[in-house]
Amino acid sequence: MPTFEVPGAELAVSLSDEGGHPVVQLHGLTSSRARDRVLNLDLGRGLSGTRLLRYDARGHGRSTGRKTPEDYRWHNLAKDLLRLLDHWFPGERVHGVGPSMGAATLLHAASLEPDRFTGLTLMVPPTAWDTRLDQAANYRAAAALIESDGVEAFHAATRGSVPPPATVGAPETWPDVADALLPSLLRGAALSDLPAPEAVAQIDVPTTILAWVDDPGHPLSTAESLAALLPNATLAVARTPGDVEAWPEVLSQDVERRG
């Protein structure tokens, strides 16, 4: 499996090359390419006739990382993404897709290099701005719990939480992250936020926002704020697993329309 070196990590990468428009697919915090497929968040499975680049973010899945929380700030992950695009799709504009931390990474990358993207498909955007403070405190508390009582205590604390209605029936999974790195990843997330609203408002590419309801970690308020800020955005809200099943087709349409 190919890897790509970035400062402080080696990223595990895969490219499905069927010609056509370049697409890059990201994943969420503590997840990976493999875990997102299990969670039914691998929208790229519905694509054909594209060059689809998937990768595990630093510290996740099969990628390596350091015990350095700052490494995992979203702004730094965006720089990793742009390095990957420079290598795999030099001089080309790409379509970006990803959930949660992946959506945040794409927004940071697009605010740094707006001409890099033809469009974005942002899935379940995370807490941001006003709602970020409480979530950051949750991440810091979880990191401290892991260090004091171990990863099993963290799993026990999260087990039994009520899932969003759109994910009912999804299999139970655990973080696809080495135990030793998990506290640093969580602290890096606690240090992160979306770009400032005025920066988001400058991202003028066609954007689809795919949200769902009743998920405090991915509140509908973030999706609605992004839809209002982004100059060229549409918002679709899932309330059932069947709604989420339609998301790969949404991505296919996004890429075809903007490719």
Helix (H) or strand (E) holding 87: helix 74-88
Q: What residues contact residue 66 under an 8 Å CB cut-off, 6+ apart?
A: 8, 9, 59, 181, 184
Q: Is the pLDDT of residue 160 over 80?
A: no
Q: Give the domain ranges of the chain.
A: 3-258
Q: What is the pLDDT of residues 195-245, one digit of tens each?
A: 999 999 999 999 999 999 999 999 999 999 999 999 999 999 999 999 999
> Does residue 176 sit in helix, strand or coil?
coil
Which residue matches tokens 């402080």?
8
Q: Is the pLDDT of residue 259 over 70?
A: no
pLDDT score, position 184: 98
CATH superfamily placement of domain 3-258: Alpha/Beta hydrolase fold, catalytic domain (3.40.50.1820)
Average pLDDT estimate for 76-98: 98
Q: What is the pLDDT of residues 107-134, one digit of tens each?
A: 999 999 999 999 999 999 999 999 999 9
- Model-level pTM greater than 0.95? yes
pLDDT score, position 213: 97
The rounded percent of the chain whose pLDDT value lies above 70 is 100
Q: Is the pLDDT of residue 194 over 70?
A: yes
Q: What residues contact residue 216 under an 8 Å CB cut-off, 6+ apart?
A: 127, 135
Bridge partners (DSSP) listed for residue 14: 54
The tokens describing 116, both together, are 């890099």
The rounded percent of the chain whose pLDDT value lies above 90 is 91
DSSP character for 196? P
Bridge partners (DSSP) listed for residue 16: 52
pLDDT score, position 43: 95
pLDDT band at 161; cut points 50, 70, 90 = confident
pLDDT score, position 254: 96
Q: Hey, how many other C-beta atoms are within 10 angstroms of the C-beta on 55? A: 27
